Amino acid sequence: MRPLDLQHIGNELAVKWDDGTEDFITLDKLRRACPCAGCKGEVDILGNLYKNPEKPLTAKAFELAKITSVGGYAIQPAWADGHNTGIYSFEYLRRVAAAKWPV
């Protein structure tokens, strides 16, 4: 599965998939689902989870500045607050779209 088209429309990311379906993901949901190690954490060999301390997100955290394609498998949003380390595989993006809140 691959997106045929991605468009930032208002406070949503509209995704048209190659199977003909469409998803509309709020930017709030997309940002809160950021898969980077700082946001979701990473696990060491012993199973310990390490991640950045929780910090409040400002309004700029939910403003999409740009989206970059990563190879043929993912997108990387850049947010107005400077955060840009989350790489959303197309599979993960589809799961985020389908997930009930919160992700």
- What the chain holds in terms of domains, given with CATH numbers, is 3-98 (3.30.2020.30)
pLDDT surpasses 80 at 94: yes
Structure confidence at residue 102 as a pLDDT band (50, 70, 90)? low
The single-letter DSSP state of residue 52 is P
What is the DSSP code (8-state) at residue 86? -
Mean pLDDT, residues 71-93 taken together: 97
The reported pLDDT for the residue numbered 87 is 98
Please give the Cα distance from 46 to 32 (Å, whole number).
Answer: 26
pLDDT of residue 103: 57
Range 87-93 contact pairs with CB under 8 angstroms and sequence separation of 24 or more: 87/35, 87/36, 88/30, 88/33, 88/35, 90/1, 90/2, 90/3, 91/1, 92/35, 93/3, 93/15, 93/25
Q: How confident is the model at residue 7 (pLDDT cuts 50, 70, 90)?
A: very high
**pLDDT tens per residue, range 16-64:** 999 999 999 999 999 999 999 999 999 999 999 988 888 899 999 999 9
Starting at the earlier edge strand, list the strands of the sheet with 64-70: 64-70, 74-79, 88-89
